[in-house]
Amino acid sequence: MAPTSQTPDGILRLDGEVDLHRAPEIRAALAPLLAQKTPRLLVDMTAVSYIDSSGLALLIETLQRVLGYGGKFAVFGLRESVRAIFHVACLDQVFRIFPDEAAALAA
């Protein structure tokens, strides 16, 4: 599993399983982006194979913080298995979800 990475343009790239065990690592990667009040924070989930409730909670918390300072937050590249989890939790109605990076950047 590669480490979580971020780009200078506010894209956080995740991989593998986003779960209770990875949440601290992801939270640490998000901290500087949130502290800088990054105007547009995008989460690349192209390489995410699974997300559990703690991963969803972390994304919800991040969404609330970004919206709290007036920024924009979106996720993109959800695999069908991950998209299904968002759908079951009705979070596809909460998050801005884009098919790929180009669409997210264009929005």
pLDDT band for 1, please (50, 70, 90 cuts). Answer: very low
The owner of tokens 């480490």 is: 3
Q: Is the distance from CB of 56 to CB of 92 less than 8 angstroms? A: no
Amino acid 97: pLDDT: 98
Q: Is the distance from CB of 83 to CB of 92 less than 8 angstroms? A: yes
Amino acid 9: pLDDT: 73
- The sheet carrying 97-98 orders its strands as 5-6, 11-18, 40-51, 72-76, 97-98
Amino acid 71: pLDDT: 97
Domain segments of the chain: what residues? 10-106
User: The pTM is what?
Assistant: 0.91
Helix axes 53-68, 23-35, angle to 10 degrees: 10
Segment 45-65 shows an average pLDDT of 97
Domain 10-106: state its class.
Answer: alpha beta
pLDDT of residue 3 exceeding 90, the answer is: no
Amino acid 27: pLDDT: 95
